Structure 1
Amino acid sequence: MTTLHEYLESAGCETDLCTLIELIAEQAQPIREAFITHQAYAESENVYGERQAAMDTWSDELITRVLGESGLVRALSSEEQDEVRTFPGAKAEYAVVMDPMDGSSLIQTNLAVGTIVGIFGGGDVLQPGRDLKAALYMLYGPMTTLTLTVGKGVCIFAMDHGGVYRLLERDVRIPDGNLYGTGGGRPDWIDQHAAFITAVEADGAKLRYTGSYVADFHQILKYGGIYCYPALKGKPKGKLRLLYEAIPVGFIAAQAGGAITDGHIDLLDLKPAEPHQRTPIYVGSMNMISLVKETFERSRV
């Protein structure tokens, strides 16, 4: 089976980018081993005032340290850090954006969680998603998998017992599907989102939602449908972050034939105004994204 290293070489990735992707992917092993000893909540809050799980801070510190020492990263922005970190001595000009532990509240219940990463060139984290050099997420479920794009389609790898990533699927495409997952409490949904959910449910859509964004999206990638975290009454920007959650996963979705929108615009065209900017998210199959846009467009009439 093709290894991650062999795939990256065959895809024509520049040497430093190959090394950086492999270095990030290697962190899945120590992260997975740390779940047993880092299940509690830390005595701290992140920049959003959300209580941090021990794995939030541990994985953030691990990846930040490893990337800082690599000499490959000029700038790093993490969901768990207030400020953008810079590494003036870096030999390369990559900028990394990340959610080091997505879905951390589910660790104690042993549900799947993940790490989301986007890699830009040019040393600046505030770039539109279409400018990404690579996007990936590691999913810690029954298997440890790596879903990756370097702008040439989407591949899924699984880590074997020796810590080597083996190719499971090449050129993954999101099929049209009828799965949906949505965050936010139903009484708090804006009218457009409520109308969209009513429409897909009437058409036989099936609910699949755990509260782990990366795990819920992975179901959509495999089986088709849509993941949503909408604007809410009193929270017009929703909950999720443009830079750490929307842009990397949206880039993967687009490379697999899907799309990402806030209901009005393609989020890959949006340049973040600041690192912790929030946005409503609809990401998945083109059939579902088209229906979202139609629903929101009708509300303007």
Structure 2
Amino acid sequence: MRWEGRRGSENIEDRRSMRGPVVAGGGMLGLVLILIIMCAGGDPRPIMNQMQQAQQKQPQQGPVETDPEEDRLAQFVSVVLADTEEVWSDLFRQEGDSYRPPTLVIFTGQVASACGYQGSATGPFYCPLDEKVYIDLSFYEDMKTKLGAPGDFAQAYVIAHEVGHHVQKLLGISEQVSSLQQRSSKVEANELSVRLELQADYFAGVWAHHAQQNWQILEPGDIEEALTAATAIGDDRLQEQAQGRVVPESFTHGTSEQRTRWFVQGLKSGDMNAGNTFEIPYSQL
């Protein structure tokens, strides 16, 4: 993937120098307050901002040395994030709307977010409460060694997928799905989660389509890298590896075939409005 020499994003929060469970502001009390405010129909962002400011004032929990390869990865995700900002800003502008970019948080070990504590084992995730994407860069080594999905474009796909969840948040899709899940059975809630994840894969493909048009980022083998990554994190693949059997009703992200197919659809079309996974019968996803 061609990425070097282009600008990085300013919306990067590097927490690699923070070791251990640093709690923003009031810790669990702050998280409880956010939930109370949301349940009451209020805006939790003021208290979230106060918590973040309090965290930034706390002394670091001991420096963590980084190596040149990790710093290069940090620069890489910054460039990918900048690409997503430009692509989605243009697409939202074409729809007569404005795009509010997310912040990408780089951490080591574990991290406190508005969605609670998460560790490296969780993998990259998006928190809609603070509109931030979180990633421990060691995940990329896990992709290569444990999932068999190496390559920089595979790594870019991961960021683009999480940014796809941010796009869903801005479009109001995430909130609608969350509301439906609260009134659904476990199986129905899982199906809604699969639809949400497959649409994020589609949005990742939309980003790749326009990034290629804008900057000719793709090199031979890049598409195969992304498809290998999407295949590696399919529910059926992960369940087979973990427990030796597949339980479709427990899927939350989609099968390997579904994930690759929806990414490719987004890559081919580049149309942000053509990936409505919620209008298709579940059996045909």
**TM superposition score normalised by structure 1:** 0.29
More strand by share: 1
More helix by share: 2
